[in-house]
């Protein structure tokens, strides 16, 4: 059974190797380049560092889960569309009749 523990700085090489095995070299390189930005330079991290967890079976790292804290956005416009705006949106939607006759609805906007 795997043990899930908090990530330690020394786990980085094992996490990189696991990512390479699972997702391939190109994706692993892209992840490696984002790592510091997402987890260490992120100004929204809690004071004790990012929430990163690893799963181990014995000495082998077999899983990794990381969260990236973000600042909540609270100034979102919440006014619903007006009746006129709804009518304009509806006028821009057409149902493709040829696909409807085949049992599928295709909606195009424009």
65 Rama class: left (phi>0) / alpha (psi -120 to 50) / beta: beta
Alpha-carbon torsion (97, 98, 101, 102), positive or negative: negative
Q: How many Å apart are CA 106 and CA 93, to the nearest integer?
A: 10
Task: Quote the pLDDT of residue 69.
Answer: 83
DSSP per residue over 27-94, as a string? HHHHHHHHHIIIIIS-TTS-TT---EEEEEETTEEEEEEE----PPP-----PPPPHHHHHHHHHTEE
User: Could you tell me how many residues make up the chain?
Assistant: 110
What residues are paired with 109 via a beta bridge? 93
pLDDT band at 109 (very low <50, low <70, confident <90, very high): very low
Span 72-86, pLDDT tens digits? 777 666 666 677 776
Task: Show Cβ contacts of residue 51 under 8 Å, excluding neighbours closer than 6 positions.
Answer: 66, 67, 69
Its pTM surpasses 0.85: no
Span 9-29, pLDDT tens digits? 889 999 999 999 999 999 988
């Amino acid at each position: 059974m795997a043990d899930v523990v908090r990530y330690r700085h020394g786990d980085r090489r094992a996490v990189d190797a696991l990512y390479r095995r699972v997702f391939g070299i190109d994706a692993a390189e892209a992840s490696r380049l984002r790592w510091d930005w997402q987890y260490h330079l992120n100004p929204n991290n809690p004071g004790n560092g990012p929430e990163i967890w690893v799963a181990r079976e014995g000495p082998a790292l077999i899983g990794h889960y990381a969260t990236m804290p973000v600042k909540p956005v609270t100034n979102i416009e919440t006014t619903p569309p007006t009746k006129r705006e709804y009518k304009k949106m509806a006028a821009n939607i057409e149902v493709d009749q040829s696909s409807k006759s085949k049992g599928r609805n295709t909606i195009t906007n424009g």
